[in-house]
Amino acid sequence: MLADRIEVLLEPFLHGSSTPDGEGTETAAQPLSSRQLADISMYIDMLLRWNTRVNLTSIRDPEAIVTRHFGESLFVAQDLFGRLAGAQAFDFSHVIDVGAGAGFPGLPIKIWEPRIHLTLIESNQKKVAFLREVVRGLGLEDVTIRCSRAEELSLSGDIVTLRAVERFEQVLPVACGLIGMRGQIALLIGENQVESARNLGTGLRWQTPIELPQSGTRVLLKGFRV
């Protein structure tokens, strides 16, 4: 897909969040670079090619892939890292994506902010092979891919992400257990899962859900380790 078209499709997701963060400020819009757009274009090509033989996504239309997968993922990336600039040390530098699947939201977050260390957790070996292909193809550094279930691992991160996983009520407490001290979790879920997430994610301070652009039912919900 042409970079110019990708940029147009992603614009609604990168206009900045209108929901205040914990300090009462707002995230600022940040345009994608030509390199980031080229990486996304290559990623889409690989996803479409692999999807003919490995069930990575039920969405087949390239433009829908851009908005649903990359748009939502970059919306999260902007919310998490949009205010960080320059060479300052991160408060949140290690991101763990639980049930990474085809790499969303973890790999687009890495494309947005290449300075993070990213760990992708995925138990399906075919999907792991695809993730490794994307990481190699895009030349991404400081990415660890773990072919395992999250409950079998002993690690912690500054930010844990979770999106569209099966067995949500079983996986969420495991994902919360990966949050390090003063860390947070970012969930891309349906509005009907918010109350369940708050009940299951004990010991976290939950923010008000942020509605995702172009979706009347999906939200970004963040919880912070108390």
Kindly report, residue by residue over 102-140, the tens digit of the pLDDT: 999 999 999 999 999 999 999 999 999 999 999 999 999
Residue 192 has pLDDT above 90, yes or no: yes
Residue 15 is predicted with a pLDDT of: 75
**86 token code pair:** 């320059």
Residue 29 is predicted with a pLDDT of: 62
Instruction: Render pLDDT for 64-110 as a digit per residue (tens, 0 to 9).
Output: 999 999 999 999 999 998 755 444 555 568 999 999 999 999 999 99
Mean pLDDT for all residues in the chain: 90
Domain residue limits at 184: 3-83+90-225
Residue with tokens 């790499």: 103
Q: DSSP E strands: which ranges in the chain?
A: 94-98, 117-121, 143-146, 157-163, 179-190, 204-206, 210-211, 218-225
Residue 31 is predicted with a pLDDT of: 83
Rounded Cα distance, 163 and 57, in Å: 13
Rounded Cα distance, 91 and 145, in Å: 22
Total structural domains in the chain? 1
Instruction: Render pLDDT for 204-223 as a digit per residue (tens, 0 to 9).
Output: 999 999 999 998 899 999 99
Residue 164 has pLDDT above 90, yes or no: no
| CATH number of the domain within which 218 lies | 3.40.50.150
pLDDT band of 1, cuts 50, 70, 90: confident
pLDDT band of 28, cuts 50, 70, 90: low
Burial class (CB in 10 A: 0-12, 13-18, 19+), 7: middle
Rounded Cα distance, 154 and 136, in Å: 26
